[in-house]
């Protein structure tokens, strides 16, 4: 079931990112549009949904980044937590969105490490193909929770909020909305492929051995005898790149969302004097998450919990995104067309249904 869901991730992410890009070309933020159309209460609910999940994910990603450095250099994880968070802060304080974007755009190329790891894991390709075309469906709690976590980590709100922010910061005009949607859609291909290879690598190694993994070190130890030491190193490199990409985006998105909700100046192009609340929120999120990461917990368990939380929080902001993108009063002639609207409605419906099944299972247990 999960392998089948991964195949559907590309069209789902592509649809949502295209809708977010359309909103970005209107030069109206998602939060600003929610506040204008539905009022401050709904904007605050969206703010809480986004930032609370962002903080959980930030702490988990800072831990994961530090853990990956531990795997590569053999130094205790705690040594790397503050330098990792400080590095993200330094990048975001250059006062140039374009420079931040250039640096972050280089990191996804490192994700080829996941693909190599999947090949080194020597999966049963015929069994994999069979499971993709003939998936086994189950509504057991572990499978339902895993499906929700998968949706929560790929369709979580910060992903499409950041897409809207990117398009807006680039000052993409409404006349190029088609190009922006196409760019966003094809950009969704990379995470979908990445998740597919992660699933293949883990299924061929950790899944086959039924290993109990709580930390990245546990994963490395389990991978080494099955896929070799190079797969372990590539796993660490991929994990580091993922964390290095996510941490600045999570912190910046939180700052944008807060300032947009309260109509305050906020941009990575702005100076500290012009946007003090923006930078205070940005640095506060990093500091709070780094402090939590230093306390010590299982990074993988925290990432999993953050993904489930993201899945539960996503329906609210996703329905609002689709609604405002279709609203003529907000978007004017740039509102999304019928096919994209129905596609977005279908994606929101899938995520909402996943949440409902998860909550139903939780209530029964």
| pLDDT over 90 (residue 342) | yes
Domains, the chain = 2-364 (1.20.1740.10)
pLDDT at 190: 75
pLDDT at 161: 95
Per-residue model confidence as pLDDT tens digits over 139-155 = 778 788 888 888 888 88
Write out pLDDT tens, residues 190-232: 777 777 777 777 777 766 666 666 666 666 666 665 556 666 6
Going by pLDDT thresholds of 50, 70 and 90, the confidence category of residue 166 is: very high
Report the distance separating Cα 202 and Cα 3, nearest Å: 12
Residue 2 pLDDT:
54
DSSP state letters, 149-214: HHHHHHS-HHHHHHHHHHHHHTT--GGGHHHHHHHHHHHTHHHHHHHHHHHHHHIIIIIHHT----
Q: How far is Cα of residue 283 from the mean position of the Cα atoms in its chain?
A: 20
Average pLDDT (103-117) is 76
The rounded mean pLDDT for the chain is: 85
Residue 280, pLDDT > 60, answer: yes
> Quick one: tokens of 343?
């596609």
Q: What is the pLDDT of residue 142?
A: 78
DSSP code string of 11-35:
HHHHHHHHHHHHHHHTT--HHHHHH
Please check the confidence at residue 276 and state whether its pLDDT lies above 90: yes
* pLDDT band at residue 89 using 50, 70 and 90 as cut-offs: very high
Predicted local distance difference test score (pLDDT) of residue 198: 75
* Predicted model pTM: 0.88
When pLDDT is averaged across residues 301-320 and rounded to a whole number, the result is: 90
**Average pLDDT estimate for 267-277:** 92
What is the pLDDT, as a whole number, of residue 6? 65
- Label residue 300 by pLDDT band (50, 70, 90): confident
Q: In the chain, what is the greatest distance between 2 CA atoms, to the nearest angstrom?
A: 60
Q: What percent of the chain has pLDDT over 90?
A: 42
Higher pLDDT, 101 or 132: 101
Predicted local confidence at residue 220, as pLDDT: 63
């Amino acid at each position: 079931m999960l392998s089948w869901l991964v195949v559907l991730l590309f069209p789902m992410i592509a649809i949502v990112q295209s809708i977010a890009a359309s909103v970005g070309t209107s030069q109206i933020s998602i939060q600003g549009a929610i506040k204008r159309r539905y009022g401050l209460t709904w904007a605050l609910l969206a703010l809480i949904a986004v930032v609370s999940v962002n903080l959980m994910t930030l702490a988990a990603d800072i831990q994961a980044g530090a853990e990956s450095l531990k795997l590569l250099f053999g130094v205790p994880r705690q040594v790397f937590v503050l330098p990792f968070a400080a590095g993200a802060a330094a990048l975001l304080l250059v006062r140039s969105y374009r420079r931040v974007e250039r640096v972050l755009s280089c990191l996804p190329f490192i994700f080829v490490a996941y693909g190599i790891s999947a090949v080194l894991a020597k999966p049963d390709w015929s069994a994999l193909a069979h499971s993709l075309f003939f998936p086994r469906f189950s509504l057991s709690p572990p499978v339902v929770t895993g499906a929700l976590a998968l949706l929560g980590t790929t369709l979580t709100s910060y992903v499409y909020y950041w897409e809207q922010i990117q398009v807006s910061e680039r000052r993409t005009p409404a006349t190029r909305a088609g190009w922006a949607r196409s760019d966003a859609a094809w950009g969704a291909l990379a995470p979908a492929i990445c998740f597919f290879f992660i699933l293949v690598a883990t299924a061929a190694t950790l899944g086959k051995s039924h290993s109990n993994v709580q930390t990245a070190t546990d994963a490395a130890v389990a991978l080494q005898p099955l896929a070799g030491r190079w797969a372990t190193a590539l796993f660490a490199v991929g994990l580091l790149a993922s964390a290095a990409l996510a941490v600045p985006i999570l912190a910046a998105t939180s700052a944008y969302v807060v300032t947009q909700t309260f109509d305050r100046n906020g941009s990575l192009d702005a100076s500290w004097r012009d946007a003090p609340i923006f930078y205070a929120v940005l640095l506060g999120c990093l500091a709070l998450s780094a402090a939590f990461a230093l306390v010590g917990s299982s990074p993988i368990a925290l990432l999993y919990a953050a993904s489930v939380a993201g899945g539960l929080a996503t329906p609210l902001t996703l329905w609002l995104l689709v609604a405002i993108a279709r609203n003529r009063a907000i978007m004017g002639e740039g509102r999304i067309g019928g096919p994209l609207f129905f596609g977005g409605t279908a994606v929101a419906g899938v995520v909402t249904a996943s949440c409902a099944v998860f909550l139903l299972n939780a209530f029964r247990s």
